Amino acid sequence: MKANEEIHIIGAGLAGLSAAVQLVEAGKCVRIYEATSSAGGRCRSFYDGRLERIIDNGNHLILSGNKSVMRYLELLGAENELKGPELAEFPFIDLADNSSWTVRPGSRAIPWSIFNSKWRIPGISIKNYYSIWRLSQATPSDTVGACFDTDGVIWHRFWRPIIVSVLNTDPAYASANLLWKTLKETFGLGEVACRPLLAVRSLSQALVDPALSYLSGKSCKLDFNKRVRKIISEDQRVKGIETTDLVEIGERDAVILSVPPYSAAQLAPNLIVPNTFQTIVNGHFRIEGRSPEANFIGVVGGMAEWLFVRGDVVSVTISAANELSKISEVEIADKMWADISSVFGLGSSNRGPSRVIKEKRATFEQTPEQVARRPSARAEFTNMFLAGDWTDTGIPATIEGAVRSGIIAANSALEYMEN
Ligand SMILES: Cc1cc2nc3c(=O)[nH]c(=O)nc-3n(C[C@H](O)[C@H](O)[C@H](O)COP(=O)(O)OP(=O)(O)OC[C@H]3O[C@@H](n4cnc5c(N)ncnc54)[C@H](O)[C@@H]3O)c2cc1C
């Protein structure tokens, strides 16, 4: 490596951390600038004084087929921080009639053993799985709504809950192509690739802290509370970045911009980026008395979409929630509690303190129009590369997308530096 050759990473979310890990692995010197006082970005945990527990900003579900995440954790020695059932299974309950069922994808690729009547969702027939074939034929401008019969039982009892949480977008407008690409890598490979995994202790302890420990002993400097305010360029090259001071970018240095799209557009105004967003609302409830035994369960016919249980905290997730986020937190908490108490048979004496978190720009809105605005890792400057769940990874804006984007940007930077 040439003297003083450095890669400057702006943003310490999972995309930035994944790029840093990849580059340090390749023997490079890395410097990270993070605007806030902690790493993790949209995937973080904190101690909540009201619940007196560590909670996540939002529940995050990862599938065992998310291969970039799995490799990242393996490299960091943190595989055991995610846990799920031995076999892929997705339990559901319908609050309208209290029916419950468990979808078990089985060992084969789509259409799996749900063809077996034993595992079939109540009320559906095999012909409903025809939608998957239509999805596989989708073009970039097709919506999920155009591929599915959105009136049927299977829609409400399986596809809608899965799709809205994967794409964080009303399925009627969501990109069919994006959904198909992620289904192929997960459910499409059978149960080995679609075991649902959750952070055992917290998101930060699973995905963020291990990266910080890994990087701290290596050629990496991480500056917190260092918001990058300006990128200074000349002749299609970044030559400086302005934080509280001016950092000069050397002749052979590279920059990775791994901030959310709205921040990227401020720093590089010529960039075309996704520019509409969807909220995810989460509610965390401490349960007094007996805690539910489940790990997670999909809810149909209520306001909650998924319930997650960690110790004595039950958390509720609702995606594509721009409208819901306009309602007061107290009202949202009461409605969420109504669903929790129905699902787990809990009474008012079990209701402990709670916290509602509205993540207003949880992801970009994953419609065909917005997907078309995703830029590739190579930006307008020869020595700058883009990372983030919103860049064109080909898969949805998820942890897998963020980690993968970091690897793509890191490899592009390495290629640039080698030439
Ligand atoms: C509530 C919620 C639930 C979710 N559920 C799931 C799920 O179940 N499964 C799943 O796979 N994904 C889920 N996601 C999506 C997942 O969290 C994101 O895809 C991922 O965390 C994005 O990582 P990122 O690094 O691309 O961006 P970010 O996490 O946004 O990181 C960007 C970083 O850049 C920093 N930054 C911004 N501007 C500047 C600047 N000017 N200078 C320096 N630093 C700057 C920010 O502070 C931040 O740390 C969820 C997201 C939310 C919010």
pLDDT in tens, 213-265: 999 989 999 999 999 999 999 999 999 999 999 999 999 999 999 999 999 99
pLDDT for residue 331 is more than 50? yes
The pLDDT tens digits of the residues spanning 57-110 come to 999 999 999 999 999 999 999 999 999 988 888 899 999 999 998 888 766 555
**Is there a single domain that holds both residue 165 and residue 238?**
no
Q: Same domain for 128 and 163?
A: yes
Q: Are residues 25 and 155 in the same domain?
A: no
Q: Work out which ligand 1 atom sits closest to the CA atom of 15.
A: 25
**Number of compact structural domains in the chain:** 3
The yes-or-no verdict on residue 197 having pLDDT over 90 is yes
**Predicted model pTM:** 0.95
Which atom of ligand 1 lies at the shortest distance from residue 389's CA? 26
Whether residues 37 and 79 fall in one domain = no
Does residue 127 or residue 406 have the better pLDDT?
Answer: 406
Residue finishing a domain among 132, 165, 194? 194
Claim to verify: residue 235 and residue 384 sit in the same structural domain = yes
Query: Residue 332: which pLDDT band, with cuts at 50, 70 and 90?
Result: very high
Measured in angstroms, how far is the CA atom of residue 274 from the centroid of ligand 1? 14
Residue 412 is encoded by which pair of tokens? Answer: 């592009």
Of 165, 194, 223, at which residue does a domain stop?
Answer: 194
Main-chain phi, psi angles of 231, to 5 degrees: -110, 125
Same domain as 190, residue 94: yes
| C-beta of 241 in contact with ligand 1 (< 6 A) | no
What's the confidence (pLDDT) of residue 136? Answer: 87
In a domain, 1, yes or no: no
Query: Do 360 and 290 sit in the same domain of this protein?
Result: yes
Which residues does 162 contact at the CB level (< 8 Å), separation at least 6?
90, 298
Q: Is the peptide bond before 111 cis (omega within 30 degrees of 0)?
A: yes
Q: Is 143 contained in some domain?
A: yes
In this structure, the answer to whether residues 153 and 293 fall within a common structural domain is no
Report whether pLDDT(1) > 50.
no
The last residue of one of the domains, among 152, 175, 194, is 194
Judge if the beta carbon of residue 64 lies within 6 A of ligand 1.
no
Does the CB atom of residue 166 touch ligand 1 within 6 A? no
Both 271 and 381 in one domain: the answer is yes
Domain enclosing residue 233, as ranges: 6-44+202-275+367-418
41 C-alpha vs ligand 1 centroid, how far in Å? 4
265 with 298, same domain: the answer is no
Give a yes or no: residue 145 inside a domain.
Answer: yes
Atom of ligand 1 nearest to the CA of 39: 49
Checking if the pLDDT of 38 tops 90, the result is: yes
For residue 348, what pLDDT band results from cuts at 50, 70 and 90?
Answer: very high
Residue whose Cα lies nearest atom 6 of ligand 1: it is 60
Closest atom of ligand 1 to CA, residue 18: 25
* CATH number (domain holding residue 392): 3.50.50.60
The CATH code of the domain that includes 328 is 3.30.9
| 159 and 101 in a common domain | yes
